[in-house]
Amino acid sequence: MSTGPEPFGDRLQQAVAERGRIIAGIDPHASLLADWSLPDTPEGLRQFSQRALEAFSGRVAAIKPQSAFFERHGSAGVAVLEELLAGARARGVLTILDVKRGDIGSTMAAYAQAHLLPGTPPEADAITVSPFLGTGSTDPAAHLAAEHGKGLFLLALTSNPDGPQVQHALTARDTPVACEIARHAEKIGAPGSGRWSSVGLVVGATVGDAYRRLGLDRAAPSAPLLAPGFGAQGAGPAQMPEVFGENAGQVLVSLSRGVLGAGPDVGDLARRAEDLRTEYAGAPAPS
């Protein structure tokens, strides 16, 4: 009797235990391509992506391509993204595709089908989604993710300065919007005892005490925390316990410029990834 696909939360928890908590962004924006002496063309994207994938394979918990930097090159750029995702899958590297999709009903379901349905060209292990059309707007993606062992990361407390305008606002129940998002993530993630949920949160490492003050730590205690803001945006290892408290062990340290700046040499990139793994290894590892 088949037990279905292994949940994304379990696979992610195991990957962090084995390879550390670094999530390596693959963001081929124009300035980085220039730094690597690559053309700002689909072929430049391809060389950039393949070098990064080779360097990061086996050295990070997951890669996180930013879809926008591929989409700006049209269908040829999207084809490079699809090639990167397929290559990562062949190497056994988890992928979190940063697409920040957000809509309602059948449209959200279609976004989910594009990225979470096995066999589609831009298939990823998990995607980022925006719940700001209402937490229930993420449910079509959550249902498909659960069916196929995929994951979601819901934007909750982002690192941009204007985020609090919406995320700290109170609902009609006097609950911060970010906390409502966290509660919903815990509900739809349905983790087992001691296991990570397959529905995580995006919480910036630069949000100060907001993660705990607004109650996200209690609302979603099993959610993995995809945390931008490390490296170039100013946060470092000290912010893990300061910002996330007892849930620091669930933090996924999202770095793009902080690791890609070591390129273009594959060996240099690999060494940088390994150094960062050691640097951010202070928080408790997942059991």
State the chain's maximal CA–CA distance in angstroms. Answer: 54
Burial class (CB in 10 A: 0-12, 13-18, 19+), 54: middle
- Residues marked active site are found at 100
How many residues can be counted in the chain?
Answer: 287
Is the CB of residue 20 less than 8 Å from the CB of residue 60?
Answer: yes
User: Under a CB-based contact definition with an 8 Å cutoff, are residues 286 and 17 in contact?
Assistant: yes
d(CA 24, CA 261): 12
Amino acid letter, residue 186? E
Q: Comparing C-alpha atoms, which of 126, 123, 132 is closest to residue 98?
A: 126
* Residue 29 token pair: 């924006």
- Interacting residues of 287 by C-beta distance below 8 A, sequence separation 6+: 17, 194
Rg (CA), the chain: 18
